[in-house]
A and B are shown apart, each in its own frame.
Chain A
Amino acid sequence: EVQLLESGGGLEQPGGSLRLSCAASGFTFSTYAMSWVRQAPGKGLEWVSSINGGNSDTFYTDSVRGRFRISRDNSKDTLYLQMSGLRAEDTAVYYCAKSRGSYGSASDVWGQGTMVTVSS
């Protein structure tokens, strides 16, 4: 069974840092692009970042570029999101999602999400 399990969320102060992890199982992790998508409380979905499987090209939405860094460890089947310079507007559930192929394809498997709260 294909599964994604996020961890690392929590409460952090403005300006702080958090690292999210997403452990994948049930598929050949290195083959597929992976993404982070967030959802603020009561709001819609927002794409945050993606990373390709093979060449590890990375992509970011403007509001997080320079503050967040996406990475992957294909030997551990794990995706990461290093978040720094956190702001109140980063408060959201963060979902890890598997793409159907490389970047530029839909996300066919989603994790359960991990909540990030940025507040003093």
Chain B
Amino acid sequence: DIQMTQSPSSLSASVGDRVTISCRASQGITNSLAWYQQIPGKVPKLLIYAASTLQSGVPSRFSGSGSGTDFTLTISSLQPEDVATYYCQRYNSVPSTFGQGTKVEIK
């Protein structure tokens, strides 16, 4: 199975900082990658699909990049409402797999 490895597992940054989260696939997955945000106690929310396409209604400070095995989620200016755990997911084949998550906190 293709494994998805996220880094870091957690980070703490100040409001307004640029934040980047990495997701690496153990094999190439073209651009079949999504990013989700899960605010504590809430349901996962789709942010990005096809590696770089912003889901409707998601603030433009979120962006995604990458293809093949290496992908990045960037928050251009961290806001207090962005405190959450972020997951990548590959969906190109069975089984679909999620990364282990990256917890983002405000410093």
Contacts and interface: CB of A to CB of B under 8 A. Distances in A.
Interface in A71-102: 95, 100
Contacts of B62: none
Q: Most A CB atoms within 10 A — which of B43, B46, B87?
A: B43
Nearest to B1: A62
A31 interface: no
Interface residues of B, number: 25
Interface residues of A, number: 23
Nearest to B92: A104
Contacts of A45: 36, 38, 44, 87, 89, 98, 101
Interface string B82-102: 000101010111111111110
Given A45-B36, A113-B43, A106 B91 contact: yes
A69 to B, nearest CB: 16
A105 B101 CA distance: 20
A113 B97 CA distance: 19
Q: Most B CB atoms within 10 A — which of A61, A62, A107, A112?
A: A107
Contact of A107 (B46, B50, B85, B100): B46
A106 B43 contact: no
B55 interface: yes
Contacts, number: 57
Contacts of B36: 45
Contact of B98 (A47, A59, A62, A105): A47
A9 interface: no
Nearest to B49: A106
A28 B36 CA distance: 24
B97 A110 contact: no
A105 B91 contact: yes
B100 A44 contact: yes
A95 B44 contact: yes
Interface of A: 35, 37, 44-47, 50, 59-62, 95, 100, 103-108, 110-113
Interface of B: 32, 34, 36, 38, 43-46, 49-50, 55, 85, 87, 89, 91-101
